[in-house]
Chain A
Amino acid sequence: MTLLASVNETALVVFAVVVGITMVITYLASKRVSTATDFWAAGRSLTGPQNGFAIAGDYMSAASFLGIAGLIYLFGFDGFLYSVGFLVAFLTVLFLLAERMRNSGKYTIADVLTFRLKQKPARSAAALGTLAVVAFYLIAQMVGAGVLIEALVGIDFSLAVVLTGAFMVVYIIAGGMLATSWVQIIKAFMLMSAAVVMTVWVMTKTSANPVDLFKDARGQSAEGQKYLEPGLFFATPLDTVSLGLGLVLGTAGLPHILMRFFTVPNAKAARSSVMWAIGLIGAFYLMTTFLGFGARAILGRAGEEAAGTGGNLALPNLADELGGDLFLAIIAGVAFATILAVVAGLVISASGAVAHDIWSNVVRAGRDSEREEVWVAKIAAVSIGAIAIAIAVIGGAGLNVSFMVGLAFAVAASANFPALLLALTWRRFNTTGAIVGVLTGVFSSVFLVIISPKVWPGADSEGGLFGFYDLSQPGIISIPLGFLGCWLGTVLTTEPAAERKFDELYVRSETGLGAEVATGLKG
């Protein structure tokens, strides 16, 4: 039942298989990627179902696979609140952004924002929003990867982080969005298969009836009935609401998810891909009930210490209990694939912000060639990867992963989502509004997190930096502030050119007239 401190050879073999599969995909993809559209948008050649799997693969991070199951194991019902928020968020994406993004964008979310706004300032603001989200999310994932691989395979934390970063950079520079997409599709398939197998296994060990499972789990918890009620993990009610708001609106501001809509040929494929993603992600989160409560029923109170802080190792421990070393190694391999697919998606969206937005459109003002843009993108991907590795190694395992993921969602919901939504739907919206909104959204969420009790633990600072402010989730304040910034910046200035061009953006986003066409791929 102990996780090996020395290198686990079975897990190492499974990891090698995972890396081998993804490298073959990358090699095949590299031969078909030549133009900028291939590199950023996979030639817009993905079908709805393919992109749906890729969205699921891009979205469900190790925090979903190990984190939620672990939270349910430790805190019961509260862990399930994340699942609900993560899923309902896709209605926001489907109703408000997916098709409009596809029709009006090209490679990055900044393309949509600058469609009718002033290129340099609006693009810089959008790139800032993208990079802020990616920075928090990426570092959280890298640290998570290091901790997990160290625990599961026995490889040292720093080496694990470096390896993860190196693989993700290879996928991107060799195979661009095409390789990234297929890594995500394969990962989604592996993740779903692992979840189904484990769910069925838990059912045979306990009961196929969730109500019996709940009763078993309750019996194994020191909290009794409280385990099935909210309140064990989220102690402040306003925090629960704030987190929920950040989750349901934040997904619609995640650059790596929105970028996926540029990989399909048309709006119809974009919306069908969201529905596929909803089906996959919904089914997965339903299974987390069996994984999390099942871990409680089977491992009981005795497994709490081995599950680690946040319970991230509860699921691997459950796998070990169910199927021994081999099954543990397979689950570890799936978790590794999960992280690789998510970090690759994050880095390609960040390299888009650096190469396509800042370099090509701001620094070079559109005078560069496609070749140059793709080269800069590859250099950017290597640099971003190196920076993320450095921060994760220096910050070490002590960085609080969950607060950084929460922060990423809060920035996405407060900065990117309001600006995108208003650019697409409000005629009067202008460049000043976008800049003020994005800056307000980014800095208010970061500021609120810095003064929150999560960052200042200990008896002296029980209520955070300022005693009266005890929220650890900024969404409920920063999201309205982001919208307010957009509104205020807009009404204080006028920009007739942006209003005139609204007709074009509006017609194009609603009908697809004049939208970027699929270019397909070589071979």
Chain B
Amino acid sequence: MSAPEGGLPADGRPQYDWETIERSPEFRELVSRKRAFIVPGTIFFLAWYLGFIVLAGYAPDFMGSEFLVDGLTVGYVLALSQFLMTFVLGWMYLRKADRVFDPLAERAVASAEGREHAAAETAAPEPARQPQPSGRVLPQ
């Protein structure tokens, strides 16, 4: 295995043992936590949006009906709910990314670099990982 800083290959990309990192428990946890947010989040916003569009196309009478007061339509209220959804889901993603995904990504990178150095210097098997100072990476 080559050291990570051991010169760049022809395509100019830095080299790591990508396959080992990809299989590491830290990376697996990162992608599964991300997937657990992004997949349901995407399904939800696409469904809510496409539901709105389908109603606008096929149920104009329903969309034009009065909502609570004269002048306000169901369609406009549903359109506003799309704005609200975009702000809220965007904000939730940012919060989750700052608090959960970023620390997990850092941990995956740190342990990968730890492994590389250990392998290059001592050819020892995987060293014990440094305990992480931040408790925020733990599932909430």
A211 touches which one: B13, B69, B89 (CB < 8 A)? Answer: B69
Task: Give residues of chain A (274-311) contacting chain B, Cβ–Cβ below 8 Å.
Answer: 274-275, 278-279, 282, 285-286
A95-B38, A278-B90 as given contacts; A84 in contact with B57, CB under 8 Å: no
B76 near A77 with CB under 8 A, answer: yes
A511 near B18 with CB under 8 A, answer: no
Interface residues as binary, B45-79 with A (CB distance below 8 Å gives 1, 0 otherwise): 11001101110111011011000011111011001
B57 near A240 with CB under 8 A, answer: yes
Task: Give residues of chain A (65-116) contacting chain B, Cβ–Cβ below 8 Å.
Answer: 77-78, 80-81, 83-85, 87-88, 90-92, 94-96, 99
A285 near B58 with CB under 8 A, answer: no
Chain B residues near A489: list those with CB within 8 A.
Answer: none
B94 near A231 with CB under 8 A, answer: no
A275 near B94 with CB under 8 A, answer: yes
Closest to A232 in B: B60
A230-B64, A511-B108, A513-B21 as given contacts; A87 in contact with B86, CB under 8 Å: yes
A80 near B91 with CB under 8 A, answer: no
Task: Give residues of chain B (3-33) contacting chain A, Cβ–Cβ below 8 Å.
Answer: 13-14, 16, 18-19, 21-22, 27, 30-31
B90 near A229 with CB under 8 A, answer: no
A503 touches which one: B19, B56, B89 (CB < 8 A)? Answer: B19
Task: Give residues of chain A (499-523) contacting chain B, Cβ–Cβ below 8 Å.
Answer: 503-504, 506-508, 510-514
Interface residue total, chain A, C-beta cutoff 8 A: 58
| Alpha-carbon gap, A463 to B31, bound state (A) | 48
B49 touches which one: A88, A96, A512 (CB < 8 A)? Answer: A88
| Alpha-carbon gap, A85 to B97, bound state (A) | 25
- Shortest beta-carbon distance, A268 to chain B, in Å? 7
Residue B2 is within 8 A (CB to CB) of chain A in the complex: no
Chain B residues near A356: list those with CB within 8 A.
Answer: none
Residue B100 is within 8 A (CB to CB) of chain A in the complex: no
Residue B137 is within 8 A (CB to CB) of chain A in the complex: no
A95 touches which one: B42, B50, B108 (CB < 8 A)? Answer: B42
| Alpha-carbon gap, A241 to B79, bound state (A) | 15
A240-B53, A511-B27 as given contacts; A77 in contact with B22, CB under 8 Å: no
Task: Give residues of chain A (220-234) contacting chain B, Cβ–Cβ below 8 Å.
Answer: 225-226, 228-231, 234
Interface residues as binary, A364-376 with B (CB distance below 8 Å gives 1, 0 otherwise): 0000000000000
Chain A residues near B117: list those with CB within 8 A.
Answer: none
A215-B70, A230-B56, A241-B54 as given contacts; A514 in contact with B13, CB under 8 Å: yes
Most-contacted residue by chain A among B27, B41, B83, B102 (CB, 10 A) = B83
Chain A residues near B31: list those with CB within 8 A.
Answer: 506, 510
A244 near B50 with CB under 8 A, answer: yes
| Alpha-carbon gap, A84 to B81, bound state (A) | 10
B76 near A228 with CB under 8 A, answer: yes
| Alpha-carbon gap, A515 to B7, bound state (A) | 16
Most-contacted residue by chain B among A95, A96, A210 (CB, 10 A) = A95
- Shortest beta-carbon distance, A461 to chain B, in Å? 24
Residue A334 is within 8 A (CB to CB) of chain B in the complex: no
| Alpha-carbon gap, A81 to B87, bound state (A) | 17
Residue A44 is within 8 A (CB to CB) of chain B in the complex: no
B64 near A226 with CB under 8 A, answer: yes
| Alpha-carbon gap, A154 to B40, bound state (A) | 52
A279 touches which one: B34, B46, B87 (CB < 8 A)? Answer: B87
B69 near A84 with CB under 8 A, answer: no
| Alpha-carbon gap, A503 to B24, bound state (A) | 12
A245-B50, A513-B112 as given contacts; A225 in contact with B64, CB under 8 Å: yes
Residue A26 is within 8 A (CB to CB) of chain B in the complex: no
A282 near B54 with CB under 8 A, answer: no
**Total of A-B residue pairs, C-beta within 8 Å:** 159
Residue B85 is within 8 A (CB to CB) of chain A in the complex: yes
B63 near A229 with CB under 8 A, answer: yes
B16 near A510 with CB under 8 A, answer: no
A282 near B83 with CB under 8 A, answer: yes
Interface residues as binary, A244-256 with B (CB distance below 8 Å gives 1, 0 otherwise): 1100100000000
Residue B119 is within 8 A (CB to CB) of chain A in the complex: no
Chain B residues near A226: list those with CB within 8 A.
Answer: 64
| Alpha-carbon gap, A210 to B22, bound state (A) | 53
Residue B123 is within 8 A (CB to CB) of chain A in the complex: no
| Alpha-carbon gap, A503 to B97, bound state (A) | 22
| Alpha-carbon gap, A225 to B50, bound state (A) | 24
| Alpha-carbon gap, A208 to B69, bound state (A) | 16
A278 near B86 with CB under 8 A, answer: yes
Residue A187 is within 8 A (CB to CB) of chain B in the complex: no
Residue B118 is within 8 A (CB to CB) of chain A in the complex: no
A513 near B22 with CB under 8 A, answer: no
| Alpha-carbon gap, A86 to B80, bound state (A) | 13
| Alpha-carbon gap, A229 to B67, bound state (A) | 12
Closest to B19 in A: A503
| Alpha-carbon gap, A212 to B72, bound state (A) | 9
Chain A residues near B58: list those with CB within 8 A.
Answer: 237
A271 touches which one: B57, B64, B97 (CB < 8 A)? Answer: B97
Residue A497 is within 8 A (CB to CB) of chain B in the complex: no
A-B CB contact pairs (8 Å), 10 listed: A88-B45, A91-B90, A95-B41, A211-B72, A228-B75, A231-B60, A248-B50, A506-B31, A512-B105, A513-B21
Return the 5 tightest CB-CB contacts between A and B, nearest first. A229-B64, A237-B57, A244-B53, A240-B57, A215-B71
Interface residues of A (CB under 8 A from B): 77-78, 80-81, 83-85, 87-88, 90-92, 94-96, 99, 210-212, 214-215, 218, 225-226, 228-231, 234, 236-241, 244-245, 248, 268, 271-272, 274-275, 278-279, 282, 285-286, 503-504, 506-508, 510-514
Interface residues of B (CB under 8 A from A): 13-14, 16, 18-19, 21-22, 27, 30-31, 34, 38, 41-42, 45-46, 49-50, 52-54, 56-58, 60-61, 63-64, 69-73, 75-76, 79, 82-83, 85-87, 89-91, 93-94, 97-98, 102, 105, 108-109, 112
List 6 other contacts, CB 8 Å, given A87-B86, A228-B76, A240-B57.
A228-B71, A234-B57, A240-B56, A271-B97, A507-B22, A510-B34
